[in-house]
Structure 1
Amino acid sequence: MSRDNDISYFVSFCIEQYKKAKGMDGAETASLFFSSGVASYLADNFDVLHTQSRQWLIEEIEAKIEGRESR
């Protein structure tokens, strides 16, 4: 599998997990991720972020969306 595919799967995983955690639908969540820059952040920092837990990722994503400093 290529690195680009790995990153795409990771961003998709994060969208799905955030969607479930927040009770949102897929289109709404994807739109939020792209408009807030979260999708780019996840892709750009894949090497570090893909090793983190689901809960940690959700908290990190929340911080990014709310404009707080991430960890």
Structure 2
Amino acid sequence: MKDKELDIAYFLSFCMEQYKNKHQMSGEEVAILFKQYGVFPYLEDNFEVLHTQGHRWLMDEIDEWINNRKNEAKEVRV
């Protein structure tokens, strides 16, 4: 595995673990949520900027990303 790919894998794991702890969720629940709302591609695509931020900011960013995806889904259904 290339260095950058490994860095991204560690970053995704870090984000999952922090999110799990923040929301008292299981790892499986976080993985399902991140997959459902496209968090993994978002984190990967924006790794260069996101990995330089603090964990609290990252958790707020992920929450905002998920909420925006939920709102978009509601608008499509209406």
TM-score by length of 2: 0.83
User: 1:32 maps to what in 2?
Assistant: 33
Counterpart amino acid of 2:26? D
Determine the C-alpha separation between the residues in 1 that align with 2:52 and 2:36. Answer: 24
* Over 2 Å off, 4+ runs: none
Q: CA RMSD in A?
A: 1.2
Q: Is residue 66 of structure 2 the alignment partner of residue 62 of structure 1? A: no
The alignment-based identity, stated in percent, is: 51
Gaps of at least 5 residues in structure 2 are 70-78
Gaps of at least 5 residues in structure 1 are none
Determine the C-alpha separation between the residues in 1 that align with 2:7 and 2:35. Answer: 18
**TM-superposition CA deviations, 1:10-62 (whole Å, max 9, x none):** 01100000000000000000111111001110011000000000000000000
User: 1:50 maps to what in 2?
Assistant: 51
Counterpart amino acid of 1:17? Q
TM-score by length of 1: 0.91
